[in-house]
Amino acid sequence: VELGGERLGARAEFMYYLLHKPAGYVSATEDTREKTVLELVPKDSRRNLFPVGRLDKDTEGLLLLTNDGMLAHELLSPKKHVDKKYYVETDGLLTDEHRKLFKNGIKVDDEFTAKEAELQILSSGDKGSKAYLTIREGKYHQVKRMMEAVGNTVTYLKRISMGPLTLPEDMETGTSRMLTDSEINMLKGGK
């Protein structure tokens, strides 16, 4: 950008937004019937942005939006095993036996066996359970399918972290902000 022959700066080549996705939005760049997550970032910044991975329409939480295809590939590559941590509420009982099953990898259905995952049970009872679940894959409806495999239905799901990024507790649902230089550096493998 120049003004009167003086260089004032340039638009960054890559942009990175942290979004606290609310339920009711699809993780897509455009959709003719549904509201998309891009509607939640400043209009002048949407150019070429796309979500890194997907959160279901009814799932809340951390979603990274960027135009950096190489970084997105690194974060989503199955070979990289990037941790994704979720807060999950279910309609049934979660037990230590479920924790062990998840730790060893669980056969979800005839088509999919989930890799090792970490289940941290916060509370559990006949009327429902609350837990953190950390997975290292990103298969279609994976958390919901894993819980169904042990007889539980997910009633609420929120992604808390992805790799080194953690959703700030004070970040309001539906808001977004640009990543800090430090966060970008961590995502790219720096310290």
Instruction: Please report, as a single letter, which amino acid is at residue 36.
Output: T
Q: The whole model's pTM is what? A: 0.89
Among 31, 44, 56, 91, which one carries the catalytic annotation? 56
What is the tens place of the pLDDT at every residue in 138-186?
Answer: 888 999 999 999 999 999 999 999 999 999 999 999 999 999 999 999 9
Q: What would the DSSP string read from start to end of the chain?
A: -EETTEE-----SS-EEEEEEPTTEESSS--SSSEEGGGGS-GGG-TT-EESS---TT-EEEEEEES-HHHHHHHH-TTT---EEEEEEESS---HHHHHHHHH-EEEETTEEEPP-EEEEEEEETTEEEEEEEES---TTHHHHHHHHTT--EEEEEEEEETTEE--TTPPTT-EEEPPHHHHHHHTT--
Strands 35-36 and 25-26: parallel
pLDDT at 8: 60
What is the tens place of the pLDDT at every residue in 20-71?
Answer: 999 999 999 999 999 999 999 988 777 789 999 999 999 999 999 999 999 9
CA 70 – CA 154 distance, rounded (Å): 33
What is the mean predicted confidence (pLDDT) over 84-108?
96
Q: pLDDT class for 131, splitting at 50, 70, 90? A: very high
- Tell me, yes or no, if 110 is annotated catalytic: no
pLDDT at 80: 79
pLDDT at 11: 53
pLDDT at 9: 54
Out of 72-76, 123-127, 167-171, the most confident range is 167-171
Strands 16-21 and 60-66: antiparallel
pLDDT at 74: 87
